[in-house]
Every structure is written in structure tokens, then in C-alpha cells.
């Protein structure tokens, strides 16, 4: 396949349609503002998509109103700190 044919093929993909495939779903946001989004990801979902590498782009879809089609482009930069992290670390320290 020629490079130009491959570029045309890639350019013809609708990311809003492709991104909504259920088998590509990886998680729900638990914190979202203009600078940062934290996504809660289930291990099964992450395994199904073969991981989420640092730097990966993700699409976050708005799905409350059926007439509105919106998505936010996100980039995975680092693991998020969970609100329960400090309690879990405290209990581990107490145990050992």
C-alpha cells in the first residue's frame, strides 16, 4: 500500500464514531476541570485495550443528551492519585 493511500485511509476515519466503540471504553472521570482530568480505570478495561501508555490520547465523550455529540481530547500523562491512597498507605504502615 502506498503511503498516500494509507494517509487517505487514515484521514477518512471518523474519530467520534470510532471512539464510541464499547470495546474501546477504559473508564469514567472522577475529577475534571480545564487543566486536568482524572479517570478511574478498571483493570479489565485496561487489559482489554492492551494498556494505556504514557502519552496516549483518549477521547472523553459527553453522553447525557442524545442530540449533543461532544468529546474532549485528553492525554495520559501520569497515574492519578486516588482519594483513598493516603488511607491505604497508612494501613500498610500500621500492618508492617
8 domain residue, yes or no: no
pTM over 0.75: no
Q: At 37, is the pLDDT very low, low, confident or very high (cuts 50, 70, 90)?
A: very high
| Grid cell for residue 51 | 494498556
Is 64 inside a domain boundary? yes
Q: What is the structure's pLDDT at 19?
A: 84
**Do residues 52 and 46 lie in contact, with contact meaning Cβ atoms separated by under 8 Å?**
yes
d(CA 31, CA 14): 27
Q: Is residue 7 assigned to a domain?
A: no
Q: What is the rounded average pLDDT for all residues in the chain?
A: 88
Confidence of residue 78 (pLDDT cuts 50, 70, 90): very high
Residue 80 lies in a domain: yes
Residue 21 domain flag: yes
Name the residue range of residue 80's domain.
14-95
User: What pLDDT is stored for residue 55 in this prediction?
Assistant: 95
* Domain membership flag for residue 73: yes
Residue 58 domain-assigned (yes or no): yes
User: In the chain, how many domains are there?
Assistant: 1
Tell me whether residue 9 is in a domain: no
Q: How far is residue 64 CA from its own chain's centroid?
A: 18
Amino acid at each position: 500500500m502506498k503511503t498516500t493511500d494509507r494517509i487517505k485511509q487514515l484521514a477518512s476515519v471518523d474519530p467520534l464514531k470510532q471512539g464510541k466503540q464499547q470495546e474501546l471504553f477504559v473508564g469514567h472521570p472522577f475529577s475534571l476541570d480545564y487543566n486536568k482530568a482524572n479517570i478511574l480505570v478498571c483493570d479489565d478495561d485496561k487489559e482489554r485495550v492492551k494498556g494505556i501508555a504514557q502519552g496516549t490520547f483518549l477521547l472523553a465523550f459527553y453522553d447525557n443528551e442524545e442530540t449533543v455529540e461532544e468529546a474532549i481530547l485528553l492525554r495520559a500523562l501520569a497515574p492519578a492519585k486516588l482519594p483513598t491512597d493516603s488511607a491505604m498507605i497508612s494501613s500498610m504502615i500500621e500492618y508492617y
